[in-house]
Amino acid sequence: MQRLSSSSSVFLLLTVLAIPPAIAQEPFVQEIDGVIGKMLANQEIQNTGPVIVGGFLSNPQQDLHAAPAIKRHIIDCLHRRNIKVEPRGPYPAISGTFGYVIEDGALIDIEMDLTNRDGERLQTYPVRVKFANDNCSVLNIAAPSAVKLDTKVSGYDRGQAVVAALKTPEVVIQENYACAPGGHYSVEIVCDNHGSYVPVPIVDHGGFGCVEMNMGQAYRIIVKNNSPYEAVAAVTIDGLDVFAFADQKSPGFLIPPNGGTQEIKGWYINNRRADAFVVGRFAETPAAQLLGSAADAGVICVQFSAAWIPGNRPSDEGGTLGGGGVGTKRGPAIDQHVEKVPREVGKVREVVCIRYGVSL
């Protein structure tokens, strides 16, 4: 496999400069966006500026695995409303729980809690949407065949099949890239090996793509786009956006179409610098310091959307929507060369998450 040299002083990284105010989304994301609109209208948090997005916990009896994807969608909806998301500070916060219920099929059931800048809970907002293929894709779970069954199959039976798929996620590993079943986007992890970056084997562990690395080892993320359109990859590590320390925030990294790849070197700081991704004890990580929660520790989550030059929206983009253990430390500064380009960003098409740990 190709080795990626770490000796190069600069590399080309494209970040997205603009997001349109009205973008098509799946019903699940539309519901989240609508709830966020209600939260921002709350009299106690109006005009307070930034918002914190905290952790989302699965119902312990259901043991679902969609927390990083749910959190990523909430952050995305806030960005589309031009709301700045901060990891900590005296700001209102959104957190909550999630699970499923079976009522004529299976429903995503999320409780989104809004707290004020003093940490006092103001209100709980429910989000409940029936599962469909798109919902499965944006939550990083395999779309169950039961969703596609004809209407003669009872809603309860379809719901049970969806729940089974929720509890048994699926990942496809091709040429050491992890992707969703039938997906167009994939993720690879490469680690520093005496000055060169080499692919780390990704294994299927209970339906999750998993990698093992060494404590103190630097790594990078390779994202691949097999769709016919440019794509944007929005990345969180341990629940924290890789642009958390940036001088200027961006929706993500631009990937060329038709098999194009993009290398993400580290925590983005500015156009000429990134801080390397380095595996460390969770207590030493930015997520521990800024989020104070290990709920998403050891998870790399990449959300993919189509992107296009203004005026060239893809035909399949759809209509419009109004408007505790191991983690990743900030390593040494590394050179990068970034060019910012204006693109419009479409609906979330797929989410790929990889869990990582250390070799014992």
**CB neighbour list of residue 146: distance below 8 Å, 6 or more residues apart:** 153, 157, 158, 160, 161, 162, 165
Mean pLDDT of 97-126: 83
Q: According to the model, what pLDDT value does residue 355 have?
A: 80
Percentage of residues in the chain with pLDDT exceeding 70?
A: 75
User: Over 70: is that where the pLDDT of 156 sits?
Assistant: no
| Phi, psi values for residue 41, rounded to 5° | -85, -5
Examine the pLDDT at 19 and tell me if it is beyond 70. Answer: no
Which tens digit of pLDDT belongs to each residue from 203-256? 988 777 899 999 999 999 999 999 999 998 989 898 888 988 887 777 788 899
Q: Quick one: pLDDT at residue 154?
A: 54
Q: How confident is the model at residue 2 (pLDDT cuts 50, 70, 90)?
A: very low
Most confident of 150-154, 275-279, 333-337: 275-279
| b (16+ CB within 10 A) / e for 157-171 | ebbebbbebbeebbb
How much is the mean pLDDT over the chain?
Answer: 77
* Single-letter amino acid code for the residue at 315: S
Tokens in use for 59?
A: 């119902």
The structural domains of the chain, with segments of one domain joined by +, span 4-18+171-358, 27-167
Structure confidence by residue, pLDDT tens digits, 189-205: 999 999 899 999 999 88
Handedness of CA 37, 42, 44, 47 (dihedral sign): positive
User: What pLDDT sits at residue 287?
Assistant: 84
Lowest model confidence (mean pLDDT) among 12-26, 49-63, 68-82: 12-26
The overall longest dimension of the chain from CA atoms, in Å, is: 61
pLDDT of residue 163: 64
- Taking only the tens place, the pLDDT of each residue in 330-355 is 888 988 877 777 777 776 777 777 88
Reply yes or no on whether the pLDDT at 48 is more than 80.
no
Asked if pLDDT for residue 120 goes beyond 60, the answer is yes
CATH of span 27-167: 3.40.50
Tell me: the pLDDT tens digits for 308-331? 887 888 887 765 433 356 889 888
Least confident of 132-141, 148-157, 251-260: 148-157
DSSP SS3 for 182: coil
Helix, strand or coil for residue 229?
coil
Tokens coding 246: 């940036």
Return the minimum-mean-pLDDT range out of 22-31, 33-42, 80-89, 216-225.
22-31
Handedness of CA 214, 184, 12, 199 (dihedral sign): positive
